[in-house]
Structure 1
Amino acid sequence: MTRTTAGFVDPESGPGLTADDAVGVMDELAALIGDALGRPVRLVLGSAAPPADGPVFHAYDGSGAVVAVARWALDPVSAQLLLAEAAVLAAVGEVAELGSPLVAPRLVALTTWHGGPLLVEEAGPPPYASRPPTREERRAAELAVARLVTPADLDRSYAAELRTALARLEPSSVTERLAATFELLAERHDLDALPRGAWHGNWSPTTIAAAAAGGGRVLAWGWERFAVNRPLGFDTLHFRLAQLRLRGRSAGVGAVLVREAAELLTEWPVRPEDRECVARLLLLELAVRELREVGERQAPVSWAADWLAPTLFSV
């Protein structure tokens, strides 16, 4: 499988418009998105998103239905996320045509607006009657996600990449302890020997659905955190973590995930002695993401130092 990358934006230069300016030219943006969809739309600015995401616009048709979601990059960080998501949507579209059990929202347009990339995709929730995927359907879709890699994606050191990501965090007692935890895991396990593939990055009951009529295909949206060269089983673990959090639990869910890892990863080619390690690596990745995008000082918004970190520190 070939994954393409859009390269029309200079990641070192930001767009020439602020978020406040964007609200003032909604009609212009609505016209651009309407042209891409082939019908007029009305735009509504989405609720606040993590800073790295940039503004999100929901496009409504004349009947009041959401028909598309547009994301606009405000800065180099959000531009990289957006372009990566566009590449993944295109790649999933390719494999879906070959009969894959995995489907992604259709990529409607990828263009520039006021100097920054603009991605327009079909609205995430499916337009057809849907239901939660069965365990077997979800498992097949997770395997399809894991295969969204090229040999070059896996020809790198996972341990070195995670160590670098940790080193780039703002120094603090929390980040120092996270780094120490990583080194303990790297000492006890050969992290580069773990089977690896792709990771959806946001796999949860709220980002996947199956057609109620059957067919076994799973639609997944929310690809902005997609990543490659990650241990197999990350999506299975991430889904379980989301289930625990959606049930109203917060404190201790990381510890529950680690305890359940041995059973959750039985269908992945992960050695029994490495399964808890893979769960801790997922928690570590999520902590790095949260601290990078939100920051430790944003507590109680940031949960990395609250319920993920204690689990990791117990290694």
Structure 2
Amino acid sequence: MTVADPRERQDGLGWVSRAIFADPRLWLHVGAGPAAVPRGHRPAARYAVVPSVKRAKFLLPLASRRVGAASTLAYNALRPPRVRANRLAVGLLAGLGATGRVRMPVLTVAVPDGVEPEELLLAEHLGRVEGRRLHAAIGIRPPDPHHKPTLQLFDDRGLARAYAKIGWNDATRAMVAAEADALRELPRDGGDFPDVPRLLRQLRWGDLAVTLVEPMPARVRRLPRPERPRAAAMLAVARRAGPARPLRPLAGSPFLADLTARAERAGGPVAAAVAALAARDGATALEFGHWHGDWVPWNLGTHRGRLVAWDWENSGADRPVGFDLAHQGFQCALSLAGQPAAEATAAMDDLLARHGDAFGLDPARRRLVADAYLVELWLRTAELAAGGGGWSGKLHPVLLHLLAARLSVPAPGPAG
């Protein structure tokens, strides 16, 4: 069945189309094949919708066979085996120019006569500022106010040239700006500090904030043992590749001041949780430093024997050393294993117990790090919601109830 302008849809294809092809002067059409462009317009780009309109996962550029194949085969070694096999099949079809034979839908994008494509199409604009023609492979995720459209950008030869993250509302614009700031400051001296992509450019294009980073190495691979914490690398991130920092009590620390201020802005029961944390652990001394902010296997890989880390949009300073370890334990259980927040919290506690010694965390410090991380995570959730990101049903209000039990404060009411 032929589908008209995808911007009218309410699914992932719809919201990505509205974000990337927002200008009303653009003519968009999704159908069984390349569409006849109306008079007064000319085609500027065509994409295969993979694997279908209803189950769209990404938009494959049809600029050439080489570009189409590259957009599905690049970094395929990072993907789970089933996804890898599916993308290999699509890449082979694209390389043969045979996507139409399997009735793969085509998104046609046309610009008005007399208007240059780079005025209306982000990929064309980025190609102009980078000095070469670029073709975008566009990821599609379910509609969510804190998801960001992402573009992998390839040149005419099918070589990956850049990776673009797109901020389209207040929450996501802040996130892509934070990643650009982080990438400017990260050390690149080797050692235990992971390799990171370079920032290529930060720009605004209409209402969109764009952070453009260099592509990952072509031969980057998945972690061989993704469940194993990389303690030396986590510590190098925390210490910015320097020596250990002196221990400081929680009371009077910039971290506690930051938590308190953010809790006051958020309002509600989280302020009581922060106060209880300060009362219980204020005298406990620990090491503070930076954290990656989203240290999970899907943001890590290996290349030539070295760890590679990307997605630094949640990084920050003045966090307890061990926050990345806590995050790995919680998020792997929550997102990879599909466990609810209570079980994810237990997995976090277990990982801290098994590996906390490497971070100088005795039982009291492990408890502090775990509970402070849960406060940090809930505040991040609240700040995304306040910035237009919506509430995470996995984390709110359940984190408040977990914190109430762990810190012995009154549980929040039914509304959280």
Question: What TM-score bracket applies, with the shorter chain setting the length?
Answer: 0.7 to 0.9
Runs of 4 or more consecutive aligned structure 1 residues displaced over 6 Å after TM superposition: none
Question: Alpha carbon RMSD of aligned pairs, Å?
Answer: 3.5
User: Which of the numbers 188, 193, 198 marks the counterpart of 1:96?
Assistant: 188
Could you say which residue in structure 1 is the equivalent of 2:376?
A: 285
Matched residue SS, 2:357: coil
User: Which of the numbers 158, 165, 188 marks the counterpart of 2:280?
Assistant: 188
Query: Could you tell me whether the CA contact under 8 Å between 2:325 and 2:351 is conserved in 1?
Result: no
Question: 1:117, CA displacement in angstroms?
Answer: 4.3
Question: 1:274, CA displacement in angstroms?
Answer: 1.8
Could you say which residue in structure 2 is the equivalent of 1:21?
A: 22
RCO higher in 1 or 2 (8 Å CA, sep ≥ 6)?
1
Question: 1:236, CA displacement in angstroms?
Answer: 1.1
Question: 1:22, CA displacement in angstroms?
Answer: 5.5
Query: Could you tell me whether the CA contact under 8 Å between 2:197 and 2:213 is conserved in 1?
Result: yes
Cα gap change, 1:189 to 1:69, in 2 (>3 Å): same
User: Number of matched residues?
Assistant: 284
Cα gap change, 1:88 to 1:261, in 2 (>3 Å): same
The one-character-per-residue Cα deviations of 1:144-183 (angstroms, maximum 9, x if unpaired) are: 21123999xx9952111101111111x4xxx41x322222
Question: 1:32, CA displacement in angstroms?
Answer: 3.0
Question: 1:38, CA displacement in angstroms?
Answer: 4.8
The one-character-per-residue Cα deviations of 1:117-146 (angstroms, maximum 9, x if unpaired) are: 43211345x421413166888222212211
Could you say which residue in structure 2 is the equivalent of 1:34?
A: 127
CA distance in 2, matches of 1:145, 1:22: 41
Query: Could you tell me whether the CA contact under 8 Å between 2:146 and 2:389 is conserved in 1?
Result: no
CA distance in 2, matches of 1:260, 1:140: 15
Q: Does 2:331 match 1:242?
A: yes
Question: 1:116, CA displacement in angstroms?
Answer: 5.8
Matched residue SS, 2:136: strand
Could you say which residue in structure 1 is the equivalent of 2:230?
A: 138
Could you say which residue in structure 2 is the equivalent of 1:199?
A: 291
Q: Which amino acid counterpart does residue 22 of structure 2 have in structure 1?
A: D
User: Which of the numbers 135, 142, 164 marks the counterpart of 1:70?
Assistant: 164
The one-character-per-residue Cα deviations of 1:203-236 (angstroms, maximum 9, x if unpaired) are: 101101112x42xx21111111111110000011
Query: Could you tell me whether the CA contact under 8 Å between 2:384 and 2:390 is conserved in 1?
Result: no
CA distance in 1, matches of 2:286, 2:176: 29
Cα gap change, 1:36 to 1:143, in 2 (>3 Å): farther
Query: Could you tell me whether the CA contact under 8 Å between 1:294 and 1:302 is conserved in 2?
Result: no
TM-score by length of 2: 0.58
Question: 1:110, CA displacement in angstroms?
Answer: 2.2
Matched residue SS, 1:224: coil
Q: Does 2:360 match 1:269?
A: yes
Cα gap change, 1:256 to 1:306, in 2 (>3 Å): farther
Query: Could you tell me whether the CA contact under 8 Å between 1:203 and 1:239 is conserved in 2?
Result: yes
Q: Which amino acid counterpart does residue 160 of structure 1 have in structure 2?
A: A
The one-character-per-residue Cα deviations of 1:32-56 (angstroms, maximum 9, x if unpaired) are: 3224555422235543576456543
Higher helix share: 1
Q: Which amino acid counterpart does residue 247 of structure 1 have in structure 2?
A: A
Could you say which residue in structure 1 is the equivalent of 2:151?
A: 57
Q: Which amino acid counterpart does residue 281 of structure 2 have in structure 1?
A: H
Q: Does 2:368 match 1:254?
A: no
Cα gap change, 1:314 to 1:87, in 2 (>3 Å): same
Q: Which amino acid counterpart does residue 32 of structure 1 have in structure 2?
A: H
The one-character-per-residue Cα deviations of 1:269-315 (angstroms, maximum 9, x if unpaired) are: 2343121121111111111111221369956x432225433322212
Q: Which amino acid counterpart does residue 85 of structure 1 have in structure 2?
A: E
**Any residues of structure 2 matched to 1:203-214 within 5 Å, and which?**
203-211=295-303, 213-214=304-305
Matched residue SS, 1:179: helix
Larger Rg: 2
**Any residues of structure 2 matched to 1:303-314 within 5 Å, and which?**
303-314=394-405
TM-score by length of 1: 0.75
Q: Which amino acid counterpart does residue 136 of structure 2 have in structure 1?
A: L
Q: Which amino acid counterpart does residue 376 of structure 2 have in structure 1?
A: E
Matched residue SS, 2:327: helix
Matched residue SS, 2:165: strand
User: Which of the numbers 245, 257, 264 marks the counterpart of 1:160?
Assistant: 257
Cα gap change, 1:235 to 1:144, in 2 (>3 Å): same
CA distance in 1, matches of 2:228, 2:150: 33
CA distance in 1, matches of 2:344, 2:167: 33
Matched residue SS, 2:272: helix
CA distance in 2, matches of 1:145, 1:73: 25
